[in-house]
Amino acid sequence: MQIIEYEDKYLEDVKDLLVELEEYILTIDKDHLDQLHPEYRDKMAVIDLEEVNKHDGKCYIAVENDKAVGVIMGIVGEYDEYDYLDYKCPKRGVITELIVSKNVRSNGLGQQLMKKMEDYFRSINCEYVVIDVFAYNDLAINFYEKQGYHTRGLLDIKKL
């Protein structure tokens, strides 16, 4: 297994990984608000990668037998007037996607991808990293806690 910076030849694999995550999210979404839109597979990876390029980010993939089996994407968070007025807001990294295929989970691959992204954020002087985790994704929450992350804010929702 090798972790490399994203290459276009792995785009179809990254699309498959994103769909795998979204299909999992659908199974745990107690609010039934998520969907797997017909255009999701073709568009989501492209949108994510555009955000990576636009915001000083990186995309790393884990490759096994010339197939991407894991992906992590991260960007440098924007600092706007709201942040300036409300926060002592140093430069921060934002992990936008982390997926490890169910076929290769529990082998430390997620940790390796996280370390690679955190090393990148450190190298460009980010002071902390944030990640948005779906509240019903207990597996991910436990994983991130083991990596030293903790909840700082909550998003409450009420179905009408």
Residue 15 domain flag? yes
- Give the CATH number for residue 69: 3.40.630.30
Residue 156 domain flag? no
- Name the one residue in this structure whose structure tokens are 């990293």: 129
| pLDDT string in tens for the chain (160-residue length) | 899 999 999 999 999 999 999 999 999 988 888 889 999 999 999 999 999 999 999 999 999 999 999 999 999 987 777 766 667 677 889 999 999 999 898 889 999 999 999 999 999 999 889 998 988 899 999 999 999 999 888 878 877 8
Residue 134 domain flag? yes
Residue 158 domain flag? no
Number of domains into which the chain is organized: 1
Q: Which domain holds residue 141?
A: 2-146
